[in-house]
Amino acid sequence: MPQNLNAAQEYAAKWLEIIKKPEQPPEELGKWIIEESMHNFAEHFNKGWLDYRKSVTQAGQWAATEWTGHGATFEDVLGRKYIDFLGGFGMMDLGWSHPEVVAAVQAQLLRTPMPSQELIDPLRGVLAKLLADISPGDLKYAWFAASGTESIEAAIKLAKVYTQKPAFIVAVKAFHGKTMGALSMMGKADYRVPPGVLYGGPVYHVPFGDAAAVEQQLEICEKIGVGVAGVLMEPIQGEAGGIVPPDDFWPRIREATKKHGTLLIADEVQTGLGRTGKLWGVDHWNVVPDIIAVAKSLGGGVMPICAVITTEEIFQSFMYPNPFLQTTTTGGGALACSAAIAAINVTVRDRLWEVAEEKGNYILAKVQALAEKYPQIYKGVTGKGLLIGQHFQTPELGGAVAAALFKRGVLVAGTLTSAQTIRIEPPLVITYDEINQGLAALQEALADVAQEM
Ligand SMILES: Cc1ncc(COP(=O)(O)O)c(C=O)c1O
């Protein structure tokens, strides 16, 4: 496509006019937006995405092109309404456009969106203190960037710098992000293989939830003289579909890592801040890890922000002798911090983890009953709080249920490391009325799918 600066400027100006209008676009404009969006995705963004996600983007004659949302519901550009049973893959614990988060961000936007990078930026300090206040044990220093993946990159780098050891132990079916370091820790071949050689140090994968396997791998590494910097695990596997480990898993890997001088890193990117029915996933087992990585809902569903939280002793590695060992220019800016401060305020004030536990138990019981009714469709249901995995007999059945749900105005999606799994992961602020509507749609969807088998 030849360079065309005039066309670019005209197109940007046209879209800025649309962006600046607060009201729902008229029908004709809405249809134009859908056609443009489909074209732009196909020609310039990712055509494969469009094809792959057909089952959950088609809504009648016009593809669903999202436009606005509040709480656990959203509308597409034609004004059609949906219930969100996906929660932005765990990023929308507070729902779409939480008013208190939006208000904080708007106020900070008018003051200044980004820090100078040279003076002291107050909000970064406030957020670090708040995270120290709400984190378990003696975790008290934080580093910020934008995405969950970056928090994992920082965590593995911190563990290496602190321990001066090269290896990591991680889990099969784990999801930690897709940059080269985080990708090395991922537990699925589809994503690890295409780029070829990943992290240069040894990475050992063990079955998730198998404490004996972690203990054995640490013993083997000790015997063969390979130092293990960190054991990196999700408290409850998210992308694998809400896989809960046995109760002895986290306490035992805590003991084993202490014994071998290895850091225990909890990837709380998806489980942190209330999602699973506790403030932190590790709180289910009263374990204090050495490092926590958190992201997704830290930004209140409004801004991207992640954090790595650790002890003073370990964080020394990022402070001395070089305090610029780990930096990023745009990550953890003032807007992002204002969103996180507001998100933490709402989460703690409204004790959202208790809300997640109660609503999660309600949904889990209902979905388990449906799984018993339709054994030809379901393999099982797992999860804790509002991180629930529906595991289907085949990926096709999962896709059929997701499509049947979407036809009824309920959004769910597959997971990235388990093809036949569909999560139920709504915003924690979803109402019981919305939950019941979603479950009624699930009942109808299953009846449809069962009839077509
Ligand atoms: C447990 C976990 N870690 C890391 C990541 C990567 O986070 P992000 O997509 O924000 O880079 C994800 C994303 O789904 C995740 O679920």
Q: What is the mean pLDDT of residues 345-371?
A: 98
- Let me know if residue 21 belongs to a domain: no
Answer yes or no: do 286 and 412 share one domain. no
Residue 52 has pLDDT above 80, yes or no: no
CATH value at residue 238:
3.40.640.10
More confident residue, 148 or 453: 148
Q: What is the mean pLDDT of residues 366-389?
A: 98
Which of 349, 372, 393 is the last residue before a domain boundary? 349
| Residue 238 CB less than 6 A away from ligand 1 | yes
| Residue 177 CB less than 6 A away from ligand 1 | yes
Q: Quickly state the pLDDT bin for 355 (edges 50, 70, 90).
A: very high
Q: Report which of 245, 247, 236 is spatially closest to residue 277, judged by C-alpha positions.
A: 236
| Residue 268 CB less than 6 A away from ligand 1 | no
Which pLDDT score is estimated for 60? Answer: 76
- Let me know if residue 40 belongs to a domain: no
CA dist 113 and 330 (Å) reads 10
Q: What is the mean pLDDT of residues 143-154?
A: 98
| Ligand 1 midpoint to CA 205 (Å) | 18
Which pLDDT score is estimated for 157? Answer: 98
Q: What is the mean pLDDT of residues 29-43?
A: 94
- Let me know if residue 46 belongs to a domain: no
Percent over 70 (pLDDT), the chain: 98
Q: Quickly state the pLDDT bin for 49 (edges 50, 70, 90).
A: confident
Residue 199 has pLDDT above 90, yes or no: no
pLDDT tens, position by position, 441-451: 999 999 999 99
Which pLDDT score is estimated for 22? Answer: 85
Report CA-CA distances (Å) from 139 to 75, 80, 88, 308, 378. 40, 45, 28, 10, 41
| Residue 295 CB less than 6 A away from ligand 1 | yes
Largest CA distance in the chain: 70
Answer yes or no: do 332 and 374 share one domain. no
Name the closest-CA residue to atom 3, ligand 1.
Answer: 176
Give the pTM. Answer: 0.97
Domain that holds residue 201: 99-349
| Residue 423 CB less than 6 A away from ligand 1 | no
List the structure tokens of 402: 């997701």
Residue 58 has pLDDT above 90, yes or no: no
Answer yes or no: do 180 and 259 share one domain. yes
Three-state helix/strand/coil letters over 53-113: CHHHHEECCEECCEEEEEECEEEECCCCEEEECCHHHHCCCCCECCHHHHHHHHHHHHHCC
| Residue 425 CB less than 6 A away from ligand 1 | no
| Ligand 1 midpoint to CA 404 (Å) | 27
CATH value at residue 407:
3.90.1150.10
Q: Give me the residue label for tokens 């962006």.
A: 19
Answer yes or no: do 267 and 118 share one domain. yes
Q: Quickly state the pLDDT bin for 172 (edges 50, 70, 90).
A: very high
Q: Which residues pair with 414 in a beta bridge?
A: 422
| Residue 239 CB less than 6 A away from ligand 1 | yes
- Let me know if residue 228 belongs to a domain: yes
Q: Strands 73-76, 387-392: parallel, antiparallel or unpaired by DSSP?
A: unpaired
Report CA-CA distances (Å) from 354 to 21, 73, 350. 38, 21, 9
Q: Report which of 268, 174, 437, 143 is spatially closest to residue 182, judged by C-alpha positions.
A: 174
Name the closest-CA residue to atom 10, ligand 1.
Answer: 148
Answer yes or no: do 148 and 274 share one domain. yes
Q: How many domains is the chain built from?
A: 2
Which of 322, 349, 376 is the last residue before a domain boundary? 349
- Let me know if residue 10 belongs to a domain: no
- Let me know if residue 26 belongs to a domain: no
- Let me know if residue 400 belongs to a domain: yes
pLDDT tens, position by position, 267-296: 999 999 999 999 999 999 999 999 999 999
List all residues 6 or more positions away from 421 whose beta carbon is below 8 Å from its beta carbon. 240, 241, 389, 390, 391, 392, 398, 414, 415
Which of 349, 380, 415 is the last residue before a domain boundary? 349
Which pLDDT score is estimated for 59? Answer: 75
| Ligand 1 midpoint to CA 414 (Å) | 15
Residue 94 has pLDDT above 70, yes or no: yes
| Residue 249 CB less than 6 A away from ligand 1 | no
Q: What is the mean pLDDT of residues 57-66?
A: 82
Which pLDDT score is estimated for 54? Answer: 63
Which pLDDT score is estimated for 293? Answer: 98
Which pLDDT score is estimated for 51? Answer: 79
| Residue 234 CB less than 6 A away from ligand 1 | yes
Average pLDDT, the chain: 95
Which pLDDT score is estimated for 416? Answer: 67
Answer yes or no: do 390 and 242 share one domain. no
CA dist 230 and 263 (Å) reads 4
- Let me know if residue 28 belongs to a domain: no
Among the ranges given (64-68, 102-106, 373-377), the one the predictor scored with the smallest mean pLDDT: 64-68
List the structure tokens of 150: 């970056």
Q: Quickly state the pLDDT bin for 204 (edges 50, 70, 90).
A: very high
Which pLDDT score is estimated for 169? Answer: 98
Answer yes or no: do 374 and 321 share one domain. no
Q: What is the mean pLDDT of residues 379-391?
A: 97
| Residue 208 CB less than 6 A away from ligand 1 | no
List all residues 6 or more positions away from 209 whose beta carbon is below 8 Å from its beta carbon. 171, 243, 244, 245, 246, 249
| Residue 415 CB less than 6 A away from ligand 1 | no
> Which atom of ligand 1 has the smallest separation from the CA of 295?
10
With the most atoms of ligand 1 within 8 angstroms of its CB, the residue from 294, 296, 417 to mutate is: 296
Answer yes or no: do 416 and 328 share one domain. no
Answer yes or no: do 234 and 184 share one domain. yes
| Residue type present at position 123 | L
Answer yes or no: do 297 and 326 share one domain. yes
CA dist 128 and 108 (Å) reads 18
| Residue 417 CB less than 6 A away from ligand 1 | no
Q: Quickly state the pLDDT bin for 76 (edges 50, 70, 90).
A: very high
List the structure tokens of 151: 């928090």
| Ligand 1 midpoint to CA 5 (Å) | 36
Which pLDDT score is estimated for 55? Answer: 61
Answer yes or no: do 197 and 328 share one domain. yes
Answer yes or no: do 288 and 383 share one domain. no
Q: Quickly state the pLDDT bin for 86 (edges 50, 70, 90).
A: very high
Three-state helix/strand/coil letters over the chain: CCCCHHHHHHHHHHHHHHHHCCCCCCHHHHHHHHHHHHHHHHHHHCHHHHHHCHHHHEECCEECCEEEEEECEEEECCCCEEEECCHHHHCCCCCECCHHHHHHHHHHHHHCCCCCCCCCCHHHHHHHHHHHHHCCCCCCEEEEECCHHHHHHHHHHHHHHHHCCCEEEEECCCCCCCCHHHHHCCCCHHHHCCCCCCCCCCEEEECCCCHHHHHHHHHHHHHHCCCEEEEEECCCECCCCCECCCCCHHHHHHHHHHHCCCEEEEECCCCCCCCCCCCCHHHHHCCCCCEEEECHHHHCCCCCCEEEEECHHHHHHHHCCCCCCCCCCCCCCHHHHHHHHHHHHHHHHCCHHHHHHHHHHHHHHHHHHHHHHCCCCEEEEEEECCEEEEEECCHHHHHHHHHHHHHCCEECCECCCCCCEEEECCCCCCCHHHHHHHHHHHHHHHHHHHHHC
| Residue 404 CB less than 6 A away from ligand 1 | no
